[in-house]
Amino acid sequence: MWSLTFGGIKQIAFCATVTFILNRVVVVSAQDFGYEGQHGPQHWAEDFKRCSGKFQSPINIDELSVVEKEFPDLEYNNIDVIPKRVHMGNNGHTVVVKMKFEKGREPSMMGGPLERKSQYQFEQFHFHWGQNDTVGSEDLVNNHAYPAELHVVMRSLDFKDFQSALGQDHGVAVLAFFFSIDEEDNPNYEEFVKSLSIISGKGMWITLQNLLPLSKFLSWDLVSYYSYVGSLTTPPCAEKVVWIDFQIAIPISEKQINHFRELTLHDYHLRNNFRPPQPINDRIIYENVPRKFVQLGYSAIPFVNADNAAEKCSKGGGIVLILVCYVINSLFTCTKF
């Protein structure tokens, strides 16, 4: 009688354990998110309440409605420092890149639309892309989508870690860079895109061999930008995020961007992994007007990286020469020089 009772207890315990595990699986599944079907963006708010907030991202930036503003200069620190290690992974929703630096050598920034006197430190960067060149970016400009978008996530050092900065006023900033299709490969992304096939499955990570500084992954123009206050574009959709959308896109070839699209063959979560634009409501979208160019009265031509600047000049040297001649002519009122 005792053995039967003991066996029954063991069976009950086993069933209870299985039930608990299944319930946990259901909970985890319900908290997952994707970009289509029952876990798509239109259902995110069912599990993540903040995704229905008033100031969500991404948005459509209408250039006719932006407000020009003379922000303080953005100050970039250590963005040309070569990291000790670079890890790239597939988290099931995007490709994430984390960089390890020597202490005190982490990339950081301050100024611009960021909280005054606060320093923001690099956390990670990741990507959003579409199945073809007509879709992919999260923020739009004049209802135009770019084929992909890079997000560089920065945390205010006023907070001890990223989680404590989430949802706090000026706690998190996102630097957004669009991609545009170019005939030539982008050498800074060559090893990167070829390594994507190695992380085709969720949870897979690799260490990149060719160590490049953060600046190599960004646009050559770090002065011309739009800015607004929004949210994370993935759950939990925490708000009060400062967005800085740079106007000059990063060039990438069709062949290179197709390496991102090949990841969708393995996981539907990575198919068109961008959130649709959200209502702007009563937010103001600003466009930075660099101070030094406001004083001179000329359009900004802000080359900020020597290597990239040389490359741009070689492609458009004639235009730059004409502009330089125009400036000199205006300053010295000479007709010939």
Task: State which amino acid sits at residue 26.
Answer: V
pTM beyond 0.85: no
Residues 290 and 314 in one domain: no
Residues 275 and 204 in one domain: yes
Residues 330 and 256 in one domain: no
Residues 110 and 249 in one domain: yes
- Distance from C-alpha of 183 to C-alpha of 257, rounded to nearest angstrom: 12
| 28 lies in some domain | no
| 31 lies in some domain | no
In the chain, beta strands by DSSP E: 60-61, 67-69, 74-77, 85-90, 95-100, 108-111, 120-129, 140-141, 148-156, 172-182, 205-207, 225-231, 239-253, 286-288
Nearest to 155 by CA among 145, 140, 170, 139: 170
- Distance from C-alpha of 138 to C-alpha of 59, rounded to nearest angstrom: 7
- Do 73 and 288 contact (CB within 8 A), yes or no? no
| 39 lies in some domain | no
Residues 130 and 113 in one domain: yes
> In the numeric block, which tokens belong to residue 286?
């600003």
Residues 6+ apart with CB under 8 A from 126: 94, 95, 96, 97, 150, 151, 153
Rounded CA Rg of the chain? 24
| 332 lies in some domain | yes
Residues 132 and 150 in one domain: yes
CATH number, position 149? 3.10.200.10
Residues 207 and 333 in one domain: no
Q: Domain range spanning residue 189?
A: 47-296
Kindly give the confidence (pLDDT) of every residue in the chain, 337 residues in length, as a single tens digit, with 9 standing for 90 and above: 444 454 554 454 444 444 444 443 333 344 579 898 888 999 999 999 999 999 999 999 999 999 999 999 999 999 999 999 999 999 999 999 999 999 999 999 999 999 888 999 999 999 999 999 999 999 999 999 999 999 999 999 999 999 999 999 999 999 999 999 999 999 999 999 999 999 999 999 999 999 999 999 999 999 999 999 999 999 999 999 999 999 999 999 999 999 999 997 677 768 899 999 999 999 999 999 987 644 333 333 343 444 444 444 444 444 444 444 444 444 444 433 3
- Distance from C-alpha of 79 to C-alpha of 66, rounded to nearest angstrom: 29
Residues 66 and 147 in one domain: yes
> In the numeric block, which tokens belong to residue 317?
């040297």
Residues 320 and 236 in one domain: no
- Of the candidates 39, 87, 93, 170, the residue annotated as catalytic is 93
| 30 lies in some domain | no
Ramachandran region, residue 143 (left: φ > 0; alpha: ψ -120 to 50; beta: rest): left
Number of helices and strands (H, E) in the chain?
Answer: 7, 14
Residues 261 and 290 in one domain: yes
pLDDT of residue 7: 52
- Do 105 and 78 contact (CB within 8 A), yes or no? yes
| 183 lies in some domain | yes
Residues 199 and 64 in one domain: yes
Task: State which amino acid sits at residue 128.
Answer: H
* Chain-centroid distance, C-alpha 109: 15
| 7 lies in some domain | no
Task: State which amino acid sits at residue 254.
Answer: E
The total number of structural domains in the chain stands at: 2
pLDDT of residue 31: 58
Residues 207 and 336 in one domain: no
Residue keyed to tokens 């250039």: 63
Residues 6+ apart with CB under 8 A from 280: 59, 60
Nearest to 109 by CA among 76, 60, 85: 76
Active site residue 93: yes
- Distance from C-alpha of 143 to C-alpha of 58, rounded to nearest angstrom: 12
| 111 lies in some domain | yes
Nearest to 30 by CA among 235, 280, 300, 329: 235
